[in-house]
Structure 1
Amino acid sequence: MKNISYPAPVHSPRSATLTQRSGRLLVALLLSTILVAAGLIFAPPASAATSVAIKPGSIATVPVGSTGIRDAKVTASTTLTALPKSGGGVYTSVQARAGKSGAYAAQARTYPNGTVTVSIKRLNGTGRSLTQSTISSYVTLDRKIKAGEKLTLTLEAKGTSTVTLKATAKIGTSTAREVSAKDTSGSRISAEGKGAVTFYTSKGSPSLKASVASSSYAAVKQPVTTPKPTPSAPAPAPVKPTPAPAPVKPAPAPAPVEPAPAPPANPTVPASGFPTAATTGVPAGVSLTVHEGDLVITKANTVIDGVEVRGIIDIKAPGVVIKNSRIVGGSTARSIGLVTNVNSGQPFTIQDSEIYAAKEDPAWNGLVGSNFTAVRMDIHTVVDPVRVLGNNVVVRDSWLHDNSHWEKDPLRGGTPSHDDSVQIEGGASIVLEGNRMEGATNAAVQITQNSSIAKLGSITIRDNYLQDGGCTINVGASAANNRPIVTSNVFGPERIFAGCAIVAPESSAPVLKGNIWEKGSVPITRYTIG
């Protein structure tokens, strides 16, 4: 394979924009966009209620409006007759500027447990070159949705050299959550396009029915500021000569002035300084060569650069470097991970790459093993993005998000999936630093003691943005006498138990320093005993 070489690795500078591919979902999304724009999908414009069937692994599309508009706002109120019982959930999107070059979409993902997350996407290209970019942060709606409840999405797109995007989402009559983005990339969509509503559910979900209760696609105007006319200046009045001033006594020296108090701290610590789609994954402009099937590495110091692996990477030699690559799995899922060294334990490095399951399955996990360093990774659409099974692991500056979740997981006897951003089953010298972890149902970091794998040792969790899970960091009861160091982390607002940033048994009380809640910068000085 011409893209696999053996010299020492050289780090290439990264771009400021990440392009994410999402396999079959993305092909279907853009295909539906193109068909809508070309007038080849003849579903009626959704001015009245329109019912659609959502088949597993395919897109259902309802056009909105019939005229191409550039600066536009699309709005749709939708319902699901039932929530998905398994799989990765239902993706509901409203699209603006939909045409042959792509579309912008406000995408809501409804999980089997009713959690709804929203983000803004950009779709570009066709066929094998089809790409989807996440160009905003993710927000989670304030409450869970129920079957038959109305989900209202809006997306406004304005501008050309800079495309300004604003999306809102709400359940029923609750308060809407907002997410925004600005797109100045070379892939931005500046042309006019049509509107659409799309539904998608993964192959792991059953067929569902949805309804578009109402929708609209209308032009919005850029604000125009008209300068006020300047009034003519009146003729100046005659000026009388000013008498000479009286002698002035020197002013006394001013009294000492107390220094002004420091301004109050920013009430909310922004999460924007942590990894996002723009700073993780495959750098923009990197051309990937497809490798069909698994890639088993048996030669020391192999460098894998610019490869899309449609299988897994199994590392069986030391010093392997993987960079600027994408690993998406094949048709048969295996719980050892999409990138793994569990069979060898040989050390490796992976950076500036993306890992996800193109075909979701309860058995797929992301990066699994020990003795590895992962930097600027984008890992999503798997049950556990990172699973640590031994010593010497570093995960830094990476984005772990959008876990796969099944309410009835066949690998867990029909109980819910136990998805974590990072699951540590055993090992020492483990460092999680500078990451953004969100989207897991169980915990962002789960620490347990699996003595058959490795004994727990030093674990450091620092300078991360952490949210979601029941409690966001969960030190299990089996992790006896291990005290993880948890310092300088920002805990976001989303989790099942609102005030539970960290839960641990007293025997494994974490060492806490400098951790804060994102909202209000309130220090976190305690943990929940569990």
Structure 2
Amino acid sequence: MKHRRSFPTSRRSKSIAIILSTFVVLSASGGLALQAYAGSNGEKSAARPAETVAKRQPPADWRNRHSPRPTKTPRWPRPSSAKPSSKPPTTPPTSPPATSSTPVPPPAGSGACALPGYPTPRCTGVPAGWKPKATKDGDLTITKAGTVVEDQLVTGSIYVKAPDVTIRNTRVYGTIDNFIGNRVYGHLLIEDTEVVNPPGQEFSKNGQYAFGVADYTCRRCKVINRMEGWRVGAADYAGAGPVLIEDSFAQLAVPPGMCESADPHGDGIQGYGGPTVTIRHNTIDQRLDDCPTAPIFIPDQGNDGATVQDNLLAGGGYTLRLTGGKFPAVTGNKIVQGSFGYGPLEVTCSLIAQWKGNATVTYDWATGKVTGQVKAFDSCR
């Protein structure tokens, strides 16, 4: 299959052994009982050897790697309109990223973003009427620990090469990346910040993720008309740590004609060899992508897993795909009925510890409110 990651030989061997053993078990038992539309990928193997972390180099295609999706072609439902607008100022909370061993608190949204509402363009990214205090033409590379980037317009990308960096109230036309070479520069905090296209450019051919990749918090972040949203990866590399994405909004889109020529199959949040991630109270709208993978895609590709709580999701082949790693909780997620190509879910139930409150719904995009429930997924199993 094209676009596959080249893992070290030891990990590949373990993966093959696990696949073979899983096949034998499934053949004997008649298959794993899953929720409708569920997948069958297995669990990840043993812990990584610490001595290899600093020696390995990232694969050449790591940043622009596309994710696989099923081969049949659905009819992708598209919205009649999805025009973003700006947001009012909010007071940022200061909670640290949650880990898989930490109890998950209720969503931190406030004002118009709080449940039972969901994040919209108005309550994410820079505030309404925002004007930058400084403009950086081209890329901005941060090399000093503890740097605070605030109220800036960066026409290129922000490359974080120092720990404990904060990026706040900032607009970026490129990407924000803290995985440089073979190292993650962590404890990165991103708040009220957006990755959008330059004025006059509705769509982007930039296939790189908007935010990434490890040991970062992204709170009230916004992505508009990009192919890829958040990347969670590089768990095997120095400096990697857990990720928190909350109270954020993404509208993903592919330029007209690109599906036929390049088939980018993008994602809202993609795990790719990633550490544990908490995905809490976000809106991810992939209806403007005619060749998508999924709004949330944590596959069996070396991922540690995720807590997935109280998200509003639309679009994708399967909208919520969770087939790799461990999932302490998958709760309260709402999938917009009729927005997906194949079905709402592709999940491996044996990997999920807690499953409740997930459903397909009808949704008012203007107000950010669920208007009705169509089907409750009472049990993953």
Aligned-partner Cα distance in 2 for 1:114–1:513: 27
Aligned-partner Cα distance in 2 for 1:380–1:405: 13
Matched, 1:133 2:80: no
What residue is the counterpart of 1:428 in the other structure? 275
Q: 1:395 aligns with which of 239, 242, 245?
A: 245
User: What is the identity, as a one-letter code, of the residue corresponding to 1:462?
Assistant: Q
- Structure 1: gaps (5+ residues): 1-112, 122-131, 136-184, 186-269, 330-337
Matched, 1:468 2:319: no
Aligned-partner Cα distance in 1 for 2:248–2:209: 16
- Structure 2: gaps (5+ residues): 1-74, 89-113, 236-240, 363-371
Alignment CA distance shift 1:408-1:284 (3 Å): closer
What residue is the counterpart of 1:382 in the other structure? 226
| CA shift for structure 1 position 513 | 1.1
- Aligned-residue Cα RMSD (Å) equals 3.0
What residue is the counterpart of 2:26 in the other structure? none
Alignment CA distance shift 1:510-1:379 (3 Å): farther
Matched, 1:501 2:330: no
| CA shift for structure 1 position 365 | 2.2
Alignment CA distance shift 1:396-1:300 (3 Å): same
SS of structure 2 residue aligned to 1:278: helix
Aligned-partner Cα distance in 1 for 2:216–2:169: 17
> Contact 2:360 / 2:376 at 8 angstroms: preserved in 1?
yes
Alignment CA distance shift 1:282-1:494 (3 Å): farther
**Pairing 1:124-523 to 2, within 5 Å after superposition:** 133=85, 273-288=117-132, 289-329=134-174, 338-343=175-180, 344-347=183-186, 348-358=188-198, 360-389=204-233, 390=235, 391-404=241-254, 408=258, 414-439=261-286, 441-451=292-302, 456-476=303-323, 479=324, 482-483=326-327, 485-497=329-341, 500-505=343-348, 508=351, 511-519=354-362, 520-521=372-373, 522-523=375-376
Q: Report how many residues are paired.
A: 255
Aligned-partner Cα distance in 2 for 1:328–1:408: 20
User: What is the identity, as a one-letter code, of the residue corresponding to 1:354?
Assistant: E
> Contact 1:381 / 1:404 at 8 angstroms: preserved in 2?
yes
What residue is the counterpart of 2:28 in the other structure? none
SS of structure 2 residue aligned to 1:491: strand
Identity %: 26
Alignment CA distance shift 1:458-1:449 (3 Å): closer
User: Which structure has the bigger radius of gyration?
Assistant: 1
SS of structure 1 residue aligned to 2:318: coil
User: What is the identity, as a one-letter code, of the residue corresponding to 2:250?
Assistant: L
SS of structure 1 residue aligned to 2:122: coil
Aligned-partner Cα distance in 1 for 2:347–2:152: 41
Aligned-partner Cα distance in 2 for 1:286–1:351: 14
Normalising by structure 2, we get a TM-score of 0.60
SS of structure 2 residue aligned to 1:402: strand
Alignment CA distance shift 1:497-1:404 (3 Å): closer
Aligned-partner Cα distance in 1 for 2:263–2:257: 4
> Contact 1:305 / 1:322 at 8 angstroms: preserved in 2?
yes
User: What is the identity, as a one-letter code, of the residue corresponding to 2:123?
Assistant: T
> Contact 2:150 / 2:167 at 8 angstroms: preserved in 1?
yes
SS of structure 2 residue aligned to 1:400: strand
**Pairing 1:31-180 to 2, within 5 Å after superposition:** 115-119=77-81, 133=85
| CA shift for structure 1 position 527 | 4.9
